[in-house]
Amino acid sequence: MYCLLYSMTMNHDTSSTFSCKRGTLAQTLWLLATALTTAGGLLLLALLKFRGYHPGLPWRILAVALPLGCGVAYIFRLIRDMARLDELQLRIHLEAAATASLGVFMASILYPIFQFAGFAGPLQPFYVTFLLAGLLLFGYFNANRRYR
């Protein structure tokens, strides 16, 4: 998911087929910090639970607050970098975001019907993550193809 977000938020380059080049260093560092603190928090909590310890409140707060803070900083950097894009590249990114958010919205409305009809089991969080990533990629490549 983090690699997908990195590839979706790159600066405009007219010589490239996919109109992307390297993202800003600050954006890359915040994304890396988010990924590492998320993995570190999960590993810390899993290790403590595996050894039979119930993680105390400070450890749980730390495991949640660090990735959240890095993620918020990444979002602000992402918005700042998107403001510097030209109109065409910004339109491609916004269309991809609209495709992903509306697709997840529709899936969240329809999922209980599928579950009640017996076509789907309990909703797992990674289903939503993969659906969001897939729709984001689909929206990006579809908009990129249309506007080129």
Number of domains in the chain: 2
For 144, the domain range is: 86-148
Pairwise pLDDT comparison (105 vs 125), residue with the higher score: 105
DSSP character string of 46-82: HHHHHTTPPPPHHHHHHHHHHHHHHHHHHHHHHHHHH
Query: Measured between alpha carbons, how far is 62 from 57 in angstroms, rounded to an integer?
Result: 9
Q: What is the pLDDT of residue 18?
A: 45
For residues 62 and 103, state if they share a domain.
no
Give percent of the chain above pLDDT 70: 84
Model pLDDT for residues 7-40, shown as the tens digit of each residue: 555 554 444 444 444 468 888 899 999 999 999 9
Domain termination site, one of 85, 101, 129: 85
Q: Which distant-in-sequence residues (6+ apart) come within 8 Å of 7 by Cβ?
A: 20
For residues 19 and 1, state if they share a domain.
yes
| Residue 144, number of CB atoms within 10 A of its CB | 19
For 13-106, list the strands marked E by DSSP: none
pTM of the model: 0.66
For residues 5 and 66, state if they share a domain.
yes
Model pLDDT for residues 81-105, shown as the tens digit of each residue: 888 889 999 999 999 999 999 999 9
pLDDT value at 64 more than 70: yes
For the chain, list the strands marked E by DSSP: none
